């Protein structure tokens, strides 16, 4: 949904600690993607995130050197720190268990800071959901036609039932406790520094941030950005790591058992992503096709292994 450019800088005088380069992120010039961004108020959300949330963040984010809005075109600009020297996550390849642990601990610190705080209610520009059940219901028949041969009969039945119950699931997950949820927490939006760094994970792209249950981020990462074998082997320990991070951040009244149940519901809701965006990914070339296929495999495998049909 954006145009990106790296700026290589020269200076007319010596300036200590001045960056050699910057990254500029601006609203897309492609009409289709610009319309999507405008529909979700994605540009405004990220602009306000860097204005309001980032200055007080307990986690590592790209430093924002400047931001502007063009009042005539409503184009939003962000001038960000260039972190191109770090290792970029790759959702097709997936994250390792160690990277997943560092990532859930990182997002957990942000969740803990904003958990049920009065200031959260002041972020009225941040909605409580992005998911639209009607989009899932419209996309599901086309998805089955295109990819049904990849799925088992129980998986197709689960997808059918989800279309009936998705609104109910979303309403359950929109109940308190609330915090800031990244909502697109996946490998492609992560950068990794050396494991020895005190903050080895940098989280990018806050355009879809919402107010809701933080466990949604954990499910999006584990179920969508880990291969199923790795996820199944360390899923419970990663959930405990996230929950322990909340407790360290003085979150109380949210048990580990509740986190597990919310995780299972979140894994079901995550089926929304491969079903509704597969066509756009398929149209984006070889990597888009690969991304569509790994999301289908991972999300449906996770939902099945977590016994999603019993929840519905």
Phi-psi region for residue 250, left (φ > 0), alpha (ψ -120 to 50) or beta?
left
Comparing CA positions, the residue from 192, 19, 211, 47 lying closest to residue 129 is: 211
Provide the edge-to-edge strand list for the sheet that holds 201-203. 87-88, 190-192, 201-203
Q: Domain of 56: which CATH number?
A: 3.30.200
> Which residues does 49 contact at the CB level (< 8 Å), separation at least 6?
206, 209
Do 130 and 66 share a structural domain? no
* Same domain, residue pair 99 and 61: no
Can you give the pLDDT at residue 15?
86
Q: Find the CATH number of the domain harbouring 151.
A: 3.90.1200.10
Q: Which of 45, 61, 81 is the last residue of a domain?
A: 81
Give 190's strand partners. Answer: 203
Q: Which of 60, 81, 102 is the last residue of a domain?
A: 81
**Are 77 and 163 in a shared domain?**
no
Which pLDDT belongs to residue 176? 96
Residues 181 and 221 occupy one common structural domain? yes
Could you tell me if 167 and 260 lie in one domain?
yes
94 plus 67 within the same structural domain: no
- In this structure, the chain runs to a length of 312
CA pair distance 140, 188, nearest whole angstrom: 25
Give pLDDT, residue 32. Answer: 81
pLDDT for the residue numbered 68: 96
- Residue 148 and residue 17 share a domain: no
pLDDT at 86: 98
In angstroms, the CA 1 to CA 29 distance is 9
For residue 67, which of 77, 53, 56 has the smallest C-alpha distance?
77
Is there a single domain that holds both residue 63 and residue 177? no
Q: Is residue 163 located within the same domain as residue 24?
A: no
- Decide: 92 and 194 in contact? Cβ < 8 Å: no
Query: For residue 270, what pLDDT is reported?
Result: 98
The structural domain count of the chain equals: 2
3-state SS of the chain?
CEEEEEEECCCCCCCCCCCCEEEEEEECCCHHHHHHHHHCCHHHHHHHHHHHHHHHCCCCCCCEEEEEECCCCCCEEEEEECCCCCEECCCCCCCCHHHHHHHHHHHHHHHHHHCCCHHHHHCCCCCCCCCCHHHHHHHHHHHHHHHHHHCCHHHHHHHHHHHHHHHHHHHHHCCCCCEEECCCCCHHHEEECCCCCCCCEEECCCCCCEEECCHHHHHHHHHHHCCHHHHHHHHHHHHHHHHHHHHHCCCCCCCHHHHHHHHHHHHHHCCHHHHHHHHHHHCCCHHHHHHHHHHHHHHHHHHHHCCHHHHC
Peptide bond into 171 cis (omega under 30): no
pLDDT tens digit at each of 312 positions of the chain: 899 999 999 999 988 889 999 999 999 988 888 988 998 999 999 999 999 999 999 999 999 999 999 988 889 999 999 999 999 999 999 999 999 999 999 999 999 999 999 999 999 999 999 999 999 999 999 999 988 988 999 999 999 999 999 999 999 999 999 999 999 999 999 999 999 999 999 999 999 999 999 999 999 999 999 999 999 999 999 999 999 999 999 999 999 999 999 999 999 999 999 999 877 777 678 888 899 999 999 999 999 999 999 999
Residues spanned by the domain of 103? 87-311
Q: For position 239, what pLDDT does the model report?
A: 98
One domain for residues 77 and 92: no
Burial class (CB in 10 A: 0-12, 13-18, 19+), 66: exposed
Last residue of a domain, one of 34, 60, 81: 81
The reply to whether 77 and 94 lie within a common domain is no
34 with 145, same domain: the answer is: no
The whole-angstrom separation of Cα 178 and Cα 134 is 24
């Amino acid at each position: 949904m954006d145009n990106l450019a790296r700026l290589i800088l020269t200076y007319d005088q010596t300036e200590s600690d001045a960056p050699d380069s910057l990254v500029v992120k601006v609203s897309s010039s492609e009409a289709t993607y610009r319309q999507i961004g405008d529909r979700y108020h994605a540009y405004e959300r990220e602009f306000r995130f860097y204005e309001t949330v980032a200055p007080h963040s307990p986690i590592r984010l790209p430093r924002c050197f400047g931001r502007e809005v063009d009042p005539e075109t409503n184009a939003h600009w962000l001038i960000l720190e260039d972190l191109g020297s770090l290792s970029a996550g790759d959702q097709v390849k997936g994250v390792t268990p160690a990277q997943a642990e560092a990532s859930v601990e990182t997002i957990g610190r942000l969740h803990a800071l904003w958990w049920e705080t009065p200031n959260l209610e002041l972020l009225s520009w941040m909605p409580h959901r992005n998911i639209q059940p009607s989009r899932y219901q419209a996309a599901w028949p086309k998805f089955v036609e295109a990819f049904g041969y990849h799925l088992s009969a129980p998986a197709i039945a689960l997808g059918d039932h989800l279309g009936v119950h998705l609104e109910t699931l979303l309403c359950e997950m929109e109940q308190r406790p609330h915090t800031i949820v990244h909502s697109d927490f996946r490998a492609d939006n992560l950068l990794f520094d050396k494991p020895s760094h005190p903050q080895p994970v940098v989280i990018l792209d806050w355009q879809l941030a919402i107010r809701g249950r933080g466990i949604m981020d954990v499910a999006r990462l584990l179920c969508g950005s880990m291969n199923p074998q790795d996820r199944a082997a360390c899923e419970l320990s990663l959930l405990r790591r996230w929950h322990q991070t909340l407790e360290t951040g003085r979150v109380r009244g949210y048990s580990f058992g509740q986190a597990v149940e919310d995780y299972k519901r979140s894994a079901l809701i995550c089926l929304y992503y491969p079903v509704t965006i597969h066509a756009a990914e398929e149209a984006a070339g070889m990597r888009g096709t690969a991304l569509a296929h790994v999301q289908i495999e991972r999300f449906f495998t996770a939902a099945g292994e977590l016994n999603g049909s019993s929840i519905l």
